[in-house]
Structure 1
């Protein structure tokens, strides 16, 4: 169901205290996706803090350190549903030092909700998060102008309407520069605390006649890839039961990363160039004649060819070329800086191979939205462009073509820690940063 039209993956982002966790808690509460004992626990914790009602942000800020500070540190994943659609939501941190967590939470998102405080408008962190979401190829955005009730209470409806329009126009200028079209971005004035325009339309915002946030989430087109490509499936496991019932069974199990496969399709193994035909598609629910992106399947092939874990089975018509050296855009997650010549492990799909980092060609300053040429190192949370050489070729697509087959991890070969999240290709080229310098 990873790419079912009935499932939408969402990521929230915004500055500290803009109300991200409260908005997520409101979505859970208004869609009745919270158990009664959870509400009771949150209510008790809120009373202990001296609040009159439940602090819905506590439904999301689960770590003790977060509750004590009133901020989000880790990426908190939550699940909720309406009659129209199911949702997986990642609430990402707002602090600059947790940019890596924002990258992690937004890496699989099909829609980003970017919050701004109506009293502050678009700030530096708004620009930073918008640039990161653009870099990761999140296809649609919602600008949630939160705390609009505070502007109304202080200055009146007319002033709130003008404030909302100014923020919307400012944000539209930013998103156009970062590559989104106007029909990919929707702005909604909300109050996460009181629920205005979240699940129900608010009478306090007569200047807004668009959908509520939930209405928009239910109806927005579910975009998975920006370009249509053929079938891709990393092989996770080769199934050889060797039983009297199945003496010659050989199946190749994995999750379809892109496209669709049907019985009779011609496929190729890019690493060897071997071609064959799909003769069967097995699943836990029985055999299928075809399967699509996100489905876990076991493929049966006409020819007995050499395929093992880490190989990719691809459509013969547009299979990716195996890469031994390529340009990549990475977010560095390690505490120690990355330097040219570093020897690491690269994990792409189900394949892990030794890799060497070549030249670090550029550093992306998501604060100023500029690019610095040829930095000496990449520090924690920094994003840059570099070259990578791998010991064994990988069958990767450019990230702008397909996010699943165009992404990879860099891993510490000694400790096994993830050191970087990477995108195949020059993702910085699509941000039009020269217009912002």
Structure 2
């Protein structure tokens, strides 16, 4: 028996953190995080293909889970940690909350297992924990007090102890040094001395007591915390941080920092991004070609070249770069989304529609794919499907009134009972629940 979850429920599961603080969807960063998370998730009995590691653009260090499908990590957590093993410890801890049933039990207690409204309530709490403004959180947590929102992600001492011990066990089973867990505790251990208003959100939802720190030190010692750090993990950690830095900091700062990268390809990647952000498309493309000579089968680097060329309005060259990336990694929805965008820009609307539809089917969480898909449908003479794509995009970014308008338009033109018609009904149901 397969449990099918409607689009409306899936919207509620992952859209609110994106709306509150902004999800960063980047195939290179997500691939790097997946490489770090894979052994930990497998040790926890979770599938790396089912549990996504999603990045929230927020400088405040935090990480949390709201259901069994994703672990959310703030950019501030990644930039604050000093080692891959520390980040893997954070992922292991959040994975333990999933594997040990803490999230599922909390949602059952709240009566939210199959309720769209209930999932919205859960995510409003997550938004509050992530540092979102209270009005954004409250708008989706209809009928729930702000204190309930703030407390939804606050774990009990028993849950924290269980997750700590499980996390260390997952790290040890994966051959990862458990010392990373001590690094995380060292960063947050003094937060309890601060007033709650001044504490980092991660410390509020994962309180660090002295007893807990001592217990963690004992866990690490018992599982052999003296293993060396992994150079392979360090590479993926620095690659993710380097990509983040290159797109978020000034190009001058990026070029200065790029010189200190431990790998030549990361240095070149950062230099190319800095040149791109200075509108030096030719230089950036040349730098990427140097990089690709060293790593010709790296799909994520081909995707970056495609982005540089597309944003530099070299559409045909961008199609070639994205096409190479898609050939190397045909299952990456983000790469397919970029490929479809380049095809659309170059006027190949039928091929763009097919590519974008494949990207949407594999991962609905990218509003830009739905935007481009709506354009492709419109240009291909499919107004009902265009309205549906627009409706789903508006729903995904929280504009439910606009979503309802376009969903009604789509439903009136689609064949009753068809798959697309049912998707329109899901959006309408989510909009109606929001009104109530």
Classify the TM-score, shorter chain: under 0.3
The structure in which a higher percent of residues are strand is 1
TM-score, normalisation: structure 1: 0.27
The structure in which a higher percent of residues are helix is 2
